[in-house]
Every structure is written in C-alpha cells, then in structure tokens.
Amino acid sequence: MKSNNFDTIAHLYDETRQYPEFVYENIFKLIEALGQLDSKEAKICEVGVGTGRMAIPFIKKGYAYTGIDISNNMLSKFKDKIANIDHINQVEVFQADATHLPFENSRFDMVWGTKVLRHISNWKGVLQEAKRVLKENGVFLHGEEYWVVAPPTVKVRRQWEKFIFEQNERPNRPFGVTDDHEIAKYLEEIGGKSRILTLSTWPVHETFLQKIEHFATRAGSSTFGISDEALENSVEKLKQWAYHEYGNLNYPYSGIRGFRVVMGTFDS
C-alpha cells in the first residue's frame, strides 16, 4: 500500500494552499442542510487532516473533532493551531493510517477528508473504514479542488514532467483516485448513496513565475523523490520555455477554481 506522507512539505503547506472564506461557509451550509450534525455532541472524524486547514473552522464552531494523519510534521502544525484556540470542545489528534482507523465501529456522525484519496493507493480501504466507523445514517464527504476554467499556466506541469523524464527521473504522480465519479461509484458498491456537489467556485490569478516557483520550492507532492539536481535543471528549463512561449513571466493569467465534494450516505 502506497501513501504520500507530507512530512517534508509541512513547513510550507499552509502558505501555499489557501481557500476563500466562503469555501468553508459553503461546507457548513451543506452540513446544516443535511441536518446530521445539528448537535454539538455530533462527532466528526477527518482523515488526512494535515495541518488542520479544513479542521480549524469546525473546531472553532465547537464540534467534537478527531483528526488523523500519517505525517507527524503536518500534525504538529495542527496541534500548534489547536493550542491557540480559546474555547474548544473535545478534540483528538492521532497519527494513524486512514486505511486502518484506530476506532471502534459506529463512532462518528461524519467522516470526511479533503485532497487525500489521491494520495492513498488503497483508497477503497479508506472508504470501507469510513463506513465501518460511521454511525447508522452517518455521512461521508471527500472534497477536491479542480479547474472550472484553467489558465495557460497549468501547462507548466506537463512541461515540468517532460523535463524530469528527460533526466531519467519520474514525477510522483497521484496513485490514489482523482476521479470523483470513481469515488461515487465505489460508495454505491459498498451500500451507500452518492452525490457529487460543486460547493464553491472562485477566480484565481496566476503568473508563470508563481507556477514555476511551486515546483522550485517543492510545494507539491509531485516533486517527492526528485533529486535536487534534476529539480534545479527542470526549473531553469521551465523558465526558458515559458519565456519563449509566453514572454512575460509576471503576467497574471485568470482562471476559475472550484471545490466540490463527493457525498456518501449509508442509510439503515
């Protein structure tokens, strides 16, 4: 079983991944509409909780929250944030694998994760575990980002991969699941009802230089395992390529980003 442990990029994770406030608000609106978490006694488990980027708004709202992750460094950032919140309900943090949750059956009202199933080869095992630890009528959510309208800067990834392959190294590509329909299909196979919902869209502006920096600083998991030398060479080549193709590396191109969830409910 393969997993991407984010230990090596925990220090720059939060500064390189930010959502507008309304992304969180719209998740809460969905949860309120579902009605499952009306009581503050309701228990939520987040798998692949990381630095708590998605968890903190829930904890601030007073939910009983359990976060698990395999990365100690990501969890340590999460724990620092929890320590700075004044009034919290019950919060638990465990270093654990999402395919082997250290919890008894039927413990949680909601199990969820964001941008995590792409990082776990046995993602089906995660969904089975989620079902096991969910109470009857519990809800599972998996959130992902995607391009609604992609700016030309997305082409950097493909070029970067080409320059890495040319140096006889391999980019770390997702080995879990990246297609929400596959997640939805498997939720149905294990007895759930599934829906895919786009919750938020927002404009983004990105320059070629910013996109190239994302690789240069190893901010993304695709650089895991790439040697420093190959990375430096690839970044140099990327700059030359982008300058040749687009001229100004500081021009802010516009795109539209989206956040959507796959929802699974397991009725009795």
Ligand X SMILES: C[S@@+](CC[C@H](N)C(=O)[O-])C[C@H]1O[C@@H](n2cnc3c(N)ncnc32)[C@H](O)[C@@H]1O
Chain positions contacting ligand X, by CB under 6 A: 3-6, 47-50, 53-54, 68-71, 74, 97-99, 113-116, 119-120
In the numeric block, which tokens belong to residue 119? 């990082």
Residue 70 C-beta: closest distance to ligand X, Å: 4
CA atoms within 13 A on the CB side of 23: 19
Residue 111 C-beta: closest distance to ligand X, Å: 12
Q: What is the C-alpha to C-alpha distance for residues 238 and 161, in angstroms, rounded to an integer?
A: 10
Q: Considering beta carbons, is residue 97 or 180 the nearer one to ligand X? A: 97
Residue 130 C-beta: closest distance to ligand X, Å: 12
Residue 5 C-beta: closest distance to ligand X, Å: 5
Which amino acid is located at 232 in the chain?
Answer: E
In the numeric block, which tokens belong to residue 166? 């040319």
Q: Considering beta carbons, is residue 6 or 160 the nearer one to ligand X? A: 6
Q: Considering beta carbons, is residue 2 or 193 the nearer one to ligand X? A: 2
User: Coil, strand or helix: which one is 218?
Assistant: coil
8 Å CB contact between 18 and 24: no
Q: What is the C-alpha to C-alpha distance for residues 232 and 129, in angstroms, rounded to an integer?
A: 41
Residue 211 C-beta: closest distance to ligand X, Å: 18
Q: What is the C-alpha to C-alpha distance for residues 122 and 4, in angstroms, rounded to an integer?
A: 12
Q: Considering beta carbons, is residue 74 or 187 the nearer one to ligand X? A: 74
Q: Considering beta carbons, is residue 100 or 205 the nearer one to ligand X? A: 100
Q: Considering beta carbons, is residue 142 or 163 the nearer one to ligand X? A: 142
Parallel/antiparallel/unpaired status of strands 134-149 and 193-206:
unpaired
Residue 96 C-beta: closest distance to ligand X, Å: 7
8 Å CB contact between 199 and 32: no
> Cα separations (Å) of 149 from 61, 198, 236, 261, 267?
33, 14, 27, 18, 36
Q: Considering beta carbons, is residue 130 or 238 the nearer one to ligand X? A: 130
> Cα separations (Å) of 5 from 20, 126, 127, 140, 162?
26, 15, 19, 22, 24
Residue 22 C-beta: closest distance to ligand X, Å: 16
